[in-house]
Structures are given as C-alpha cells and as structure tokens.
Structure 1
Amino acid sequence: MTAPHTPRKLFGRLSLPERNFVAEALRTETVGGVLLLIAAITALVWANTPLRDSYQSVSDFHIGPAALGLDLSIRHWAADGLLAIFFFVAGIELKRELVAGDLRDPKAAVLPVVAALCGMAVPALVYVVTNLAGGGSLSGWAVPTATDIAFALAVLAVIGTSLPSALRAFLLTLAVVDDLFAILIIAVFFTSELNFAALGGAVVGLVVFWLLLRKEVRGWYVYVPLALVVWGLMYNSGVHATIAGVAMGLMLRCSRREDEKHSPGEHIEHLVRPISAGLAVPLFALFSAGVPVSGGALAEVFTRPETLGVVLGLVLGKAVGIFGGTWLTARFTRASLSDDLAWPDVFAVATLAGIGFTVSLLIGELAFADDPALTAEVKASVLVGSLIAAVLAGILLKVRNNRYRTLWDDENRDDDLDGIPDVYEQDNPEYHLRMAAIHDRKAEEHRRLAKVTAGAGDGSDSPA
C-alpha cells in the first residue's frame, strides 16, 4: 500500500544553507537598491532644475576609441557597459538557481517560472490592448515586463517590512527568471543588423573563456581583458552588449566540490555583486532616469496610449500576472499555501514586482530609439508606474506587518545562542539538551534571587 501523497507547501520554510544565501544576497541588493533610489532622485533633480543643460552635456559627452567602434556617450556606456556587469551577476544567479537553488528541482521550479512568465505576458498584453484601443505604437510592449529586484528590496527596507525569508526568496528567484526572459527579449527583438564577423569573434572569445574555466586557469588578469574583448565584439556585432555578460556568468561553475566552502561562481559573485549593485546600476539610473517631470508631462503619462500602457502594465499587469500564475500553480499541482501566509501576502509581493525600473528603462530606450521625445515620456511612465506599484505594495504589506514580524521573530529566534536559528534544530536531540540546561540554569538563578530577596526582607542579613 502506497503512502498518501503529502501536498507540497508554497512558500514553506527554506533550508538553512538556502536561507543564509538568500539573506546575504538580499542584504547586498537592499543596499544597492537604496543607492539606486538615491541615484534616481539625483537624476530627476538634476534634469529638472536650472542645471538641466549640464545634465544633458554630461550624458551626451562622447568618449572611447572610435577606431574600435566604441566612441560612445556617457549614457551609452552606462547602458551597454555598466549594465553588462549587472547582467553578468544575473547570469551567475541564474546558473546557481539551476544547479543549487529552487530551479534545480523541476517541481519547485514550476512556481517561479510560471509566475515570471505570467508576470511578463499579462503586462505585455495590457500594453498591447491599451495601444490597440488608443491607436498607439506597439513597439514598447516589452517595457512593463521587467522587475527590478534591487528597487523592490529598497522599498522593503524603507517601509521596514519583516517579510518572511520564503517570500523574499520567491521575489529573488522570480526576478532572476524575469531577468532571463528580459535578456531573451533584448536579444531576439532588439537586434536589428548583425555584423557576423564581430559576432563570430565574440563567440570565439566566449569559447576561449569557457575553455580557460574548464582548465581551471586562475587570475583576474586573464579573464578581465578577455571579457572586455568579448564585450567589445558583442557590441559591434549588433547584439546588445549585455548578452556577453550573461553568457560569461552562465559559464561559471556554481556547484561546490567536497573541499570547497564556496564554488568559483559564488566567490566571483560575492566579489562582483557590490560593484554591480553599488556602482553599475546606480550610475545607469543616474544617466537614464533624468526626464522632465513637470505637471503637464506627468498628466500626459495618463493620456498617451504608449505611456498609459506602461503604467497599467506595471501596476495591474504585474500584480494580476504573478498572482494568477501562483494561484494556477497551486490549483493544478495540488500544492497549498503555507499555513503561516495568506493569499493577500502573495498579491502584495506580486504588486511589489511591478517596480520595473532598471531593465524597463533599458528596454524603453531600445524600443523607441528613433524618437527621443517619446523615449523620455516612456521613461517618465516607468517612473510613475514603479512609484504607484511601490506605494500600493507598501500599503498592502503594512496591513500584515505585525504578522510578518511575528514570523520573522520565530524564524530568527536563537535561544541557545549557537548561531543557528532554533527552528532548524527542533529535531536535534542535542538542541533539546542545551535548552534543558539553559532552562535549569535560569531556574537556579531565579531560586537564588528569590532566597536573597527573602533574606533581605526578614532582616537576616542586617547587622546586629
């Protein structure tokens, strides 16, 4: 007789190693998100004050070797160069998820993959319907499909929500899958003319990169120059240069051997992530988020079909798509929601995913490259949509914040002070022995204190 099937819990407690990894990754992303927020505000202030001319001058200043086809503006360097670092880290994250994270197990991978796909398809559909009804351009269908994990976590840091680690991990994994599909969209839909010689050179460079990794050749002085060559060839090939970063990130080994504390991929991610979150992405935001935000410009966001489609896609499409994808997963895989959470919690996180800052700005630039005025308006709509999604998610999360704080306290309680949360040791006999010893010691201290208090009360310790 077979054992009855136990329904799988969605957003159940993470394993201890996964929890520690997520905590470290989110800590860096949260700091990066705050820097990203500061950079975006700086760009908006800079571009909407009497200093706006200097903003344009700096953004449009060209630098780089023209002979190599790399005489680019500062804004261009930020979008194609610095974001390659961001996508390099995204590639490592994806590789790690595939070999050691949630995406390793097909059953566990169903949830974030379906949620991410629905969370991209529904916003694109909302944009298309809005523009078909309003007679707008369909070129920007991909703009509202992206989620900015750093900005989303910055919002969580600002509102102080003690979101359970399982929901945070879901948000992180969702964003990784989201980034993968965003990369595919950029590669497939925003590559116009190909230079096959440069593309062939980039492929050869990637093969050399892979062979060096296979031979376990060490030394940054080998890989960094090679990465720069691959990036330059990829840029000149007509394929967006950030694809080079993703490809190299995916080549790194992210599985640990018996004698390793960290895999090479994890080690390099630990080194590069602060550069990505603390420098590359904030600088991209600084030179991309500077758009006019006058009252008239903001009003036009809600009247022009292209910009309205972006706002509705981010605010409504993301929330409905991700929530719907999660519900469908629960409905058709016989999985059930964790007992500690409710469906409004999932909807709040889905709403938070409507913050589509970094990649949405990049796709907006690519989609309307021939119309600078519309590009600026679409960027403004990304900012407005992300802001609305952040405010709505903040309200929804605040409603349940007391419940989250209780879950967070239970998940992080360490009464025996051994550095491991007690919830992960409750099946360990040694844990119960330690807790019994702690209980006995506290009881003895309480009895001793009671005797001292009683002695002081009856005057037995008073001098004759």
Structure 2
Amino acid sequence: MSISTAFLPRRLQALWRSPTGGACVLLLASVLGFGLANSPWAGAYGAVAHWPLSLAVLGAQGPRTLTAWVSDGLMALFFLTIILEIRQEISDGHLSSPRKVALPLIGALGGMVVPALIYVFTTRGAVEAARGWAIPIATDAAFTLPIILLLGARVAPAARVWLMALAVFDDLLGIGVIAIFYGSAPCWPALGCACMVLAGLVAVRRGGVVNPCVYGLGGMLLWGLCVRAGVQPTLAGVAIGACLPAPLARPGLNAVVTWGVLPLFGFLNAGVSLAGAHVGMLLAPVPLGVMLGLVVGKPVGVFGASMLAARLGVASLPEASSLHMLFGLSLLCGIGFTISLFIASLAFTDPALVETAKLGIFTGSLIAALSGWLWLRFGGRP
C-alpha cells in the first residue's frame, strides 16, 4: 500500500519521505492535545476524545470511546510495523545473532525490576499506594521513536533498533504483568479461538500462501478475539507481524502509521488536564514513586542490566554505539505514557489516586523525554 505524493510541492515531498517529518507531526499533535486539554476548549476536546463508539459484537470488553479505538485498535498497526522492522534486523541486520537479541530483552527486564523496586521503597508505609508498583515499568514506544528520529545521526541505526526491540519486549512483559496481577480471568473460549486463528495463520504461511487478504482478515479476527478474551488487543499486531510471509513483510503501512495513526494517538492520549494540580502534589507517595521510577529507575535498570549482560558476555552491545549514546537512550525509556496510564486505572479504585498517578506519569515522562533528548543532542558527538 503506497501513497502517491506527486501532487505535493517538492519541499512537502521531501518532508513526507523524511523520517523526521512524521516525528514532528506526532510531537505537534501531542502538544496540541495537551494544550487543548488545559484550555477553555477542554470540554470540546474531552467530548471528542471520549466520543462514544462501540460494537456490540465485541462485548463489554470492546473499545467504547474514540481514544480507546485508537489505542487498542489502530495502534496494533504500529506494533505490526515495529515487529516487521525487528524481523528484518533479526534476518540480516543489527539483531542477527542470539547475543544481540538478548541485550534488549535483558535491558527490558532490568527496566521493569528497578522502577518497581524504587516505587515500592518510595511508597512504603502507604498501604493504599502499594497496588501501583507496576505503573512505572513500561516504556512507550510510540513516543520514544519520534524523539530518536529527530536526533538523526546522533543515534546509530543499531542503537535505534536496540531501543525499539527493548520497547517491544517491555510492552509484552508489561502486558503479562497486567494479565497476571491486574487482570480478571480471561474468557477461555475466546482465548482458545484466538490461539486456533493464530495457529491457522502460521499454517497458511508455512503452506506458502501470500495473499494479503488472508492475513488481513485473519488479523482482524484475531484482534476481535483478543478483545473478547480480555487480552490486550495490540498483541494481535505483534502476532500478525510475526506471521506474515517474507514477500508481505513490507506491506507499505509505514506512511499510514507515521502520518495518521501516531499523530492521532498522540493528540488523544497527551490530553492530560493539569486543572487543580500543583507542585506540592508531586511529593505525595504515589506520584513521587511513579516519577522516580520513570526518571531514575528506568535508566538505571535498562543501562545497568545491559552493561552487566555485555560484561558477562551473554549479550553484545549495538554496533557503532558509545556508552554515552546508550545511556541517553536509557533515559528515554522513562517515557512510560500509555501502558502506565492503563495500569494506574487498573491499580486504584480511588479516583484521587488515579489522578495523582497520572500527574506522576506525565511529569516523569516529560522529564525523561527532555533529559534524554538533551543528553543525546548536546552531550556528545554524532
């Protein structure tokens, strides 16, 4: 699926083809969403973001608002494109050996354990805060990728692949944590049907079927069954990305995701209202634990685990990547927006705790994004 740009002026054509163009649009859309949520038009923005939209066939677990459809539905396409890129790197690129794949996986594990420990230590004695230990464990790939693209040559290609693989592993592990510690019992019949659909897709791939309609219909069915089963539906995008045969591994979705899905996602999810918030609220146990987990725990866990794995010889560092570069990317791992917000809504029944957790998530993610960008932009040579 390719999109013609012949009708655009040359400068716009260059912007369209440039990886930084989509990154700029995502960041601008996110800023616009945040600005509207904290403006006199906040009511209209909220009405759009929470516009009722549901399908009876998906049951009570299905998306019920526009924001939920973008986050749970369209973002599956984003994970599909990321998995395809990682597959390419595993085939003949920067992740072409087990030791190179081990590095982002070990980094993701470290980036989950250390933030959780910091949160638990920070909130000790606050019983009501205990269930929020998993809030700072996630990295939001949708917001880290555009920052990396904006940095251009200051981030080596191998290091970018490492961080994207780490973010995917992080999301998968985070979804596992949600299912084990925060989820209700899945709908086993729907989950069984999803497994059968996935097995069918694997079978047709091995049978040499390359018809994109087969995988498209199978992917939509798999996504719907994941919803009915109570499983994070973006996993369907990961599964389809892993199942596509090599001739379809470049489906041309990058432009759709870059210029459509991600800006819409940023616009709807960055609209965190700061009404009634003040600096003193950040010192409460929940927001302080979340913020420290993201800003301190994430880089310490990711960078520390990665360096330990490399020192022990179980993993290889990305090619042409300095320790300075990897630490800066580890700082960006503290951007834990979407999954963190989701875990906060599951962890607490008290709306006040949810709101303070959101404040910690937003502040911590913003600090992580700025510190990582400044570190990589001004702290070293390309």
Q: TM-score of the superposition, structure 2-length normalised?
A: 0.82
In 2: Cα distance, 1:213 partner to 1:249 partner = 12
Is contact 1:292-1:376 (8 Å) kept? no
In 2: Cα distance, 1:337 partner to 1:246 partner = 25
Structure 1 residue 180 corresponds to structure 2 residue 172: yes
In 1: Cα distance, 2:180 partner to 2:358 partner = 22
How has the CA–CA distance of structure 1 residues 48 and 65 changed in structure 2, closer, same or farther, with 3 Å as cutoff?
same
Aligned-partner residue type, residue 395 of structure 1: L
- 2:106 is aligned, of 114, 119, 122, to 114
Q: How far did 1:94 drift?
A: 4.7
In 2: Cα distance, 1:182 partner to 1:30 partner = 28
Tell me what 2:6 maps to.
Answer: none
How has the CA–CA distance of structure 1 residues 347 and 339 changed in structure 2, closer, same or farther, with 3 Å as cutoff?
same
- 1:308 is aligned, of 288, 305, 329, to 288
Tell me what 2:35 maps to.
Answer: 45
Alignment size in residue pairs:
364
Output one character per residue of 1:149-201: Cα deviation in whole Å (capped at 9) or x when no partner: 44334334556662333433332333233233234334434431322222222
Structure 1 residue 375 corresponds to structure 2 residue 367: no
Structure 1 residue 391 corresponds to structure 2 residue 370: yes
Tell me what 1:264 maps to.
Answer: 247
Secondary structure (helix, strand or coil) at the match of 2:283 reads coil
How has the CA–CA distance of structure 1 residues 59 and 149 changed in structure 2, closer, same or farther, with 3 Å as cutoff?
closer
Q: How far did 1:373 drift?
A: 4.5
Q: How far did 1:106 drift?
A: 2.4
Is contact 2:23-2:150 (8 Å) kept? no
Matched ranges for 1:144-183 at <5 A: 144-158=136-150, 162-183=154-175
Is contact 2:23-2:146 (8 Å) kept? yes
Q: How far did 1:274 drift?
A: 3.0
Secondary structure (helix, strand or coil) at the match of 2:272 reads coil
In 2: Cα distance, 1:224 partner to 1:336 partner = 36
Is contact 1:147-1:355 (8 Å) kept? yes
Structure 1 residue 199 corresponds to structure 2 residue 191: yes
Structure 1 residue 240 corresponds to structure 2 residue 232: yes
Gaps of 5+ in 1: 1-26, 254-262, 405-464
In 2: Cα distance, 1:298 partner to 1:161 partner = 38
In 2: Cα distance, 1:106 partner to 1:398 partner = 31
- 1:326 is aligned, of 306, 309, 323, to 306
Secondary structure (helix, strand or coil) at the match of 1:395 reads helix
Q: How far did 1:122 drift?
A: 0.9
Q: How far did 1:315 drift?
A: 0.7
Aligned-partner residue type, residue 140 of structure 1: G
Is contact 2:212-2:248 (8 Å) kept? no
**Bigger shift: residues 106-115 or 124-133:** 106-115
Q: How far did 1:332 drift?
A: 2.1
Is contact 1:315-1:354 (8 Å) kept? yes
In 1: Cα distance, 2:131 partner to 2:28 partner = 30
Tell me what 2:331 maps to.
Answer: 351
How has the CA–CA distance of structure 1 residues 279 and 149 changed in structure 2, closer, same or farther, with 3 Å as cutoff?
same
Is contact 1:364-1:378 (8 Å) kept? yes
In 2: Cα distance, 1:47 partner to 1:325 partner = 38
In 2: Cα distance, 1:386 partner to 1:351 partner = 10
Q: How far did 1:385 drift?
A: 1.0
In 2: Cα distance, 1:68 partner to 1:138 partner = 33
Q: How far did 1:307 drift?
A: 1.7
- More RCO (CA 8 Å, sep 6+): 2
Aligned-partner residue type, residue 291 of structure 1: V
Tell me what 2:265 maps to.
Answer: 284
What do you get for the CA RMSD once the two structures are aligned?
Answer: 3.1
- 2:279 is aligned, of 286, 299, 323, to 299
In 1: Cα distance, 2:18 partner to 2:201 partner = 27
Tell me what 1:61 maps to.
Answer: 51
In 2: Cα distance, 1:218 partner to 1:336 partner = 35
Q: How far did 1:383 drift?
A: 2.1
In 2: Cα distance, 1:90 partner to 1:322 partner = 20
Aligned-partner residue type, residue 380 of structure 1: L
Secondary structure (helix, strand or coil) at the match of 1:137 reads helix
Tell me what 2:216 maps to.
Answer: 224
Secondary structure (helix, strand or coil) at the match of 1:356 reads coil
Secondary structure (helix, strand or coil) at the match of 1:267 reads coil
Work out which of the two has the higher radius of gyration on C-alpha atoms and give 1 or 2. 1
**Bigger shift: residues 179-188 or 319-328:** 179-188
Aligned-partner residue type, residue 309 of structure 1: G
Q: How far did 1:236 drift?
A: 1.2
Matched ranges for 1:84-95 at <5 A: 84-95=76-87
Aligned-partner residue type, residue 82 of structure 1: L
Q: How far did 1:313 drift?
A: 1.0
Secondary structure (helix, strand or coil) at the match of 2:132 reads coil
Tell me what 1:35 maps to.
Answer: 25
Q: How far did 1:340 drift?
A: 7.5
Secondary structure (helix, strand or coil) at the match of 2:130 reads coil
Aligned-partner residue type, residue 281 of structure 1: L
**Bigger shift: residues 27-36 or 198-207:** 27-36
Gaps of 5+ in 2: 1-16
Aligned-partner residue type, residue 35 of structure 1: V
How has the CA–CA distance of structure 1 residues 155 and 339 changed in structure 2, closer, same or farther, with 3 Å as cutoff?
closer
Output one character per residue of 1:209-230: Cα deviation in whole Å (capped at 9) or x when no partner: 2223223333333332332222
In 2: Cα distance, 1:153 partner to 1:68 partner = 31
Q: How far did 1:324 drift?
A: 1.1
